Amino acid sequence: MQVDDWQLQTVSGGRFKVDGGTMFSVVPKSLWSRKVTSDEHNRVDQAANCLLIRSSEKNVLIDTGYGSKMSDKQRKFIDAEAGNPLEKSLSERGVSRDEIDMVILTHLHFDHAGGVTRRNEDGDLELEFPNAEHVIQQGEWEVAHADWPELRNVYSTENFGLLTDSSQLRLIEGDVEIAPGIRSLVTGGHTEFHQAIVIEQGDESFYYLADICPTSWNLPTAWCTGFDLNQLETRRSKRKILEEIADRDAWLLFDHDPEIAAVKIVADDRGEFVVTQRLEAL
């Protein structure tokens, strides 16, 4: 999508599957199965929809998908694509890994930050985007390094440890302007310092909500995921942000929807939100 002198494009960080019960948490299968079909292992399709923002000044990437480092066993468990889906998708858009100037991470779970690093021919870790500044919430960074037993296996420093004490790491706190026309919006809920990213250019606004509302199936405010650390906070944040998106006639961008990249929404008479316009890709 071309907006003034900016070009916004969805790029794939990989396709995979996740357990349907986890995706919808307390919502019974008798309800969510009306919207999405699960496979024989009760898994539903997911996409890692990263966002590429291109201007005459810089190339910005929001989230990096799950990357290329998973073992065959790990890939089989979630039916993940082989290879390096993000690098392939960027290449198809005419962008190399060296041309990314900034990477903004909504949070540090594997399916969003796994593509920050890669293994070279010698098997050593290196940054996927060697020339990029990496922008992360300070609180998210600290929690990811806290090694709390309650969050064991949630974060892997293999994905982001190379940024420690690096000039390519920029830690921000709260709702701030990251770059002209791009700002953070801390939502909490999914992780304590999970952030959405708001892009504003001309008369258009785009809200990349990440896992506060990962798919069009999760638009009902009570339809949270089992991965959310605080579902009450997710529900409150999601309703507030969806109201703002509807009031502004802004685009809502989904990070995990396998079919829809973005929608416009309006509030209905029940206080929920319905889609008025949809895009399969930006």
Rounded-to-integer distance, Cα 243 and Cα 145, Å: 34
Contact 211, 76 (CB under 8 A): no
pLDDT over 90 percentage in the chain = 93
Looking up tokens 């949270």, which residue turns up? 224
pLDDT of res. 202: 86
pLDDT-flagged residues of the chain (< 70) = none
Q: Which among 207, 252, 232 is positioned nearest to 106, based on CA atoms?
A: 207
Tokens of 174: 């709260």
For the entire predicted model, the pTM comes to: 0.97
Rounded-to-integer distance, Cα 266 and Cα 246, Å: 5
Which domains are assigned to the chain? 2-279 (3.60.15.10)
Residue range 30-86, pLDDT digits in tens = 999 999 999 999 999 999 999 999 998 899 999 999 999 999 999 999 999 999 999
Alpha-carbon dihedral 92, 94, 96, 102, rounded to 10 degrees: -110
pLDDT of res. 265: 98
pLDDT of res. 56: 86
Contact 63, 51 (CB under 8 A): yes
